């Protein structure tokens, strides 16, 4: 699964035929973003395509577009996040159910504790 940083990068890049300029994605010119773009374009991942413009009327900057693998990675990340939220809710409900069961067990045992306490008091009195 991809990292949160990679997910945020891929979400900024459109699917073909649309594309976005690399400098629009990396407006901070951060080394981290440059590394992520390089990793995303690497053949092992193949999440994005880089397109280079050679036209004189276009700026000499490469554009980026999302591949099918990139879209699948985004969807997998989003599904995992939804699953994590469901798991967290399920865990909190099960914790509440556990504490309710413990409370119920304590309440059901309270008459027994009362009988034991009365027996101990009688035993101490009679010595």
The better pLDDT of the pair 38, 66 is held by 66
- Please name each of the domains of the chain with its CATH number: 4-126 (1.10.10.10)
Please list, in sequence order, all residues whose beta carbon lies within 8 angstroms of the beta carbon of residue 71, skipping any fewer than 6 positions away: 15
Residue-wise pLDDT tens digits, 76-127: 999 999 999 999 999 999 998 898 888 888 777 778 777 787 788 787 777 6
For tokens 């276009």, name the residue.
Answer: 58
Encoded tokens for 52:
């280079």
Residue-wise pLDDT tens digits, 23-46: 888 776 677 888 888 888 887 788
55 three-state secondary structure: coil
């Amino acid at each position: 699964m991809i990292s949160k940083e990679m997910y945020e990068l891929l979400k900024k890049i459109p699917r073909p035929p649309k594309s976005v300029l690399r400098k629009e994605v990396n407006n901070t010119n951060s080394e981290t973003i440059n590394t992520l773009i390089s990793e995303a374009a690497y053949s092992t991942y193949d999440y994005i395509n880089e397109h280079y413009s050679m036209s004189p009327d276009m700026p000499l900057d490469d554009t980026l577009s999302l591949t099918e693998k990139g879209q699948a990675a985004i969807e997998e990340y989003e599904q995992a996040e939804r699953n994590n939220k469901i798991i967290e809710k399920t865990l909190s409900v099960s914790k509440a159910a556990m504490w309710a069961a413990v409370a119920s067990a304590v309440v059901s045992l309270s008459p027994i504790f009362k009988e034991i306490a009365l027996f101990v008091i009688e035993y101490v009195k009679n010595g």
